A and B are shown apart, each in its own frame.
Chain A
Amino acid sequence: MKIERHFDIAIEVKEILRLLGYKNKGPDDKILESITDEIKKCHEYLDPALAYEKINIKEKKEDRVLLGNSIVFQGKYIASKLKDCQYVVVAVSTLGKKIDEIIKSSFDSGDYLRGMIVDIIGSTAIEYINKAFWKSMIGYIKDSDIGITSRMSPGSGGWDVSEQSKIFRCVDAAPIGISLTDSNMMIPLKSTSTVYGFGKGIGITRAEHICSECSMKNCAYRMDKSVEIIVRGKSDKIIHADIGSNLLEVLRREDVFVESVCGGRGTCGKCKVIFLKGAGKPTKQDKTHLSNEEIDRGVRLACCCTLYNPAEIQTMDSCGAMNVMTEGSKVDIKIEPYVNKMYLKIDTPTLEDQRSDVKRLKSAMKIDELSVGRDLMVRIPEVLRENDFKVTAAAYKNILLDVEGGDTSNKSYGIAVDIGTTTLACYLVNLRDGKIIDLESEVNRQKIYGADVISRINYTIQERDGTSILKNCIVNQINEIIHRLCKNNSIDKRNIYNMTIVGNTTMIHLFLGLPSRNISLSPFISVTTEPMEFPASEVGISIGGFVSILPAVSSYVGSDITAGILSCGMYNSKKDCLLLDLGTNGEIALGNANGIVACSTAAGPAFEGASIKHGIGGIKGAISKIDLSKDNIYKTIGDEKPCGICGSGVMDMVSELIKYNLVDETGRMADKDEISSEILSKRMVQNGSMKEFVIDGEITFTQKDVREVQLAKAAVYAGIKVLMNEKAITDKDIEKVYIAGGFGNYMDIQSALNIGLLPKEFSGRVESIGNSAGTGARMYLLSRHCREDMKEIIKAAKYIELSGRKDFQEYFVDSMMFGDSKE
């Protein structure tokens, strides 16, 4: 007998709501909170265990089944179910006795609601265990011809409950604490007994129970029909969702893009959708994050919206319209890619020259160790002969990728991909001359699963298929972009022979579908940071050759930074240079030819507008510049009606607030009566307990926003200081400061110096280099020497972990203030 005790039980709110009978509408916040709280703490009293035994079937008759242990299952029902089976698995499962006690004491003390909720959580949890067990059994048989019956239990279907005692003779349930009463009931109450039959060729019976086929029409637990949700947009989309499901989850599943910074926890207030029809009562979170005007208009937060009724919605379509930074510096390198495409005039075979086709190719290509795949060898004889032995061969390193008829040597392409946490950029590159043929960039679609790497990793931990969902999300998006790039430029996908990918370590893990959990937990260990190479098909990318992934330094200094180091050339420089990549995380590298130190700071999503009340990405209508001396104090991207404030605007805002003494050096916003200028004083308003500076109409900048910026800028500043300490140099020793990343390109460098994101001494030495990660990826694509250089960079780079470092903490606190930081 075997016992399982490790079940990662995940209870879904919607399931509890369904079992509580909610149909047309959901509960109020108070009840919902009781449910979510109980789900959180249920693990304290759930003590799951499952014991099982595999038993061979010895003999089958019409009305009974004799097992190998001499026990006989009696009755026509069970006999017919097991008639094609060779063995059975008998299992008993339980949640332990604690939950029974809690249900009883709750009812006894008059807390009926809790009693009921715990009872239903118990029912859901025990089913969860059974399902998990079922899945593990399926895992064993899925590649064989063995099938499994549906689940059977004494007392259900046509199997008499008196057979229960036989189950308990098959499996010793005492070790997991289940006993059987004289009336064949199990104690603890939340226990089940099950039998599954296994047999060759009987197929896998998936459903344990199908509601639509069940005759108990009045069953409270019956799964109801779905509700229809119409998503209005460029083309309308109709979604059928289960009643009680969460709108954000439904939209994610259906690939409808919604901003979701916090990953659906109801804390960021960004996943707004407009209900044109069927808006429900606003939730507590709606009231916190939305204005009354928005609520009246039907705006709701998708992550807090449970679907009970048909609805018609519209999303705040910001995807795709984002201003993604794709520009990088020019690549001045010798074009020498690993992809080699050559036109060959091969000697035709004769009786005197009977060399094989492959041998002929090898000698023509002058590659001795050429490796040729089977699929290719199937085609080679025909291609050679149809084209009179005049063909073009494409190879990656010493691997033959393709053989085409005639001279196609000019059709040799590569793609450099930069997977950012927020944005995705793909460059289609001509491998002959190194020129960018075309490029496409989009918001990384994984963003709906959380704005930062930690919330994405959390998603992979919390959702059963989270890792593969995120993997498919990014792989599909890249494939779609490849498809468009090829179509728009009349290129065949097969002629793209190499793709280089950069990204932070988490993005690379998610792209490969590697477990990322340990990246988020101290001591922050990734599966790999090595340079990697895969046949494209192995990682699901639809091009003709190989996918190469650039190496990283650590979990938090990824290949986007190493690519940046490669592209700005600091590893060749004699003097020290600083590279600062300001994205969702702030990564910093400092050094020269003699060595580089790098760190990552939790700059937080403030500079991407995420943790700012009215913050948005760099989309049209985003306030990107602020100057309080002007009549019109702001400018928006595309000169459109303002819809929020993006990173560069945030930085200008704070810089201006300081300049006009609207924020003091501690970061406190001035009271209305402290402001001498009447015009500015009017803009400072009190909203509840929060001071806010009105930029335009509803768009304000709050005291909390100022605090967010303080935290972010202090983290970056302190990171820079720690690295300088590590290298034992001062501000003056730094020759060049390279600012990478989209935001870095748009931000006003003076504002960055004003608010103390960068030390004032850097003034005049700062240069924006755009998407240096993308540039590095292109260099890696085009030059084998750059690949060698990259190996050196990795060797020379040292990662500095900031968390727990005392000097970082001190610098961090010091640089929290605005104005000249005290050292």
Chain B
Amino acid sequence: MEILDEISEKLQAGAAPKVRQLVSDALNQGIDVKKILDALIGAMGIVGVKFKNNEVYVPEVLIAARAMNAGLEILKPILTETGIKPIGKVIIGTVAGDLHDIGKNLVKMMMVGAGLEVIDLGVDVAPQKFVSAVKEYNPDIVAMSALLTTTMPGMKKTLEALEKEGLRSKLTVMIGGAPVTENYAKEISADIYTPDAASAAEKAREAITKKVA
């Protein structure tokens, strides 16, 4: 289907108005909404791969994500109508004491681009707030960000709180942020560490598909 290829191409180029137009056109042509959604997600995936290969850089990813959102906005009402659900749900937040949100925002953006539903708890999120959000939304993944060595322990505390409430086992917990390392993830028994936003989205998607399978 040519129009889907074109959507993919325009999304990768970050042409938001064009993507919006093309998505409407595709719907008018009667193309299955799921297929259009997959085209958007697929295109964002390609951008993610290019980013990891240093073929494009953060700004290109950002304008592609914006184009993705433009397309998604058109699709959203129809997706709700037809009962198509996102493949998974993520709760994301910057841990207690930490006010940095750029990194977290990038991860959120990429996850949305990967077709996940993301609930953003914002910054300075205390362990208890993560716990009650998990209870309320029943997500597949909890993602935490910290930008300071001094706030990193907030991740451990959140994990302990989830454990205590008996919520930990059914969740995948992801962590990231400048001072965070693979080793730290092991140390506090988080499930996934990723060094950048693109791989975070990819790993999250992988984790959810594995769980479903």
The residues of A with any CB-CB pair to B shorter than 8 Å are 20-24, 27, 30-31, 34-35, 103-104, 107, 110-113, 115-117, 119, 155, 160-162, 181-185, 187, 189, 218-219
Contact = CB atoms under 8 A, between A and B. Distances in A.
26 contacts: A20-B57, A20-B58, A21-B58, A27-B59, A31-B63, A107-B102, A111-B66, A112-B62, A112-B63, A112-B65, A113-B59, A113-B63, A116-B62, A116-B106, A155-B150, A181-B97, A181-B99, A182-B97, A183-B96, A183-B97, A183-B98, A185-B98, A185-B99, A185-B148, A189-B100, A219-B178
Contacts of A113: 59, 62-63, 66
A184 B57 CA distance: 33
Contacts of A162: 150
A46 B86 CA distance: 40
A24 B54 contact: yes
A35 B63 CA distance: 13
Contacts of B70: 110
B109 A112 contact: yes
B59 A31 contact: yes
Nearest to A187: B99
A601 to B, nearest CB: 46
Contacts of B66: 110-113
Nearest to B65: A112
Q: How large is the interface on B (under 10, 10 to 19, 20 to 34, 35 or more residues)?
A: 20 to 34
A161 B146 CA distance: 14
Given A112-B109, A115-B62, 13 more contacts: A27-B57, A30-B14, A31-B63, A104-B101, A111-B66, A113-B59, A113-B66, A115-B102, A116-B62, A181-B97, A183-B97, A184-B150, A185-B148
A21 B57 contact: yes
Interface string B68-108: 01100000000000000000000000001111111001100
A189 B98 CA distance: 10
B17 interface: no
Interface of B: 14, 54, 57-60, 62-63, 65-66, 69-70, 96-102, 105-106, 109, 124, 148-151, 178, 195
B60 A27 contact: yes
A117 B195 contact: no
A219 B181 CA distance: 12
Contacts of B57: 20-23, 27
Contacts of A103: 102
Given A112-B65, A183-B124, A218-B195, A189 B58 contact: no
B97 A185 contact: yes
**9 pairs of A and B residues whose beta carbons are closest in the complex:** A183-B97, A112-B62, A161-B150, A113-B62, A31-B59, A21-B57, A107-B105, A110-B69, A185-B99
A31 B60 contact: yes
Nearest to A164: B150
A113 B109 CA distance: 11
Nearest to A100: B99
Contacts of B60: 27, 31
A121 to B, nearest CB: 12
A115 B105 contact: yes
Contacts of A24: 54
B97 A23 contact: no
Contacts of A161: 148, 150
Contacts of A181: 97, 99, 124
A113 B58 CA distance: 8
Nearest to A183: B97
Given A113-B63, A161-B150, A119 B98 contact: no
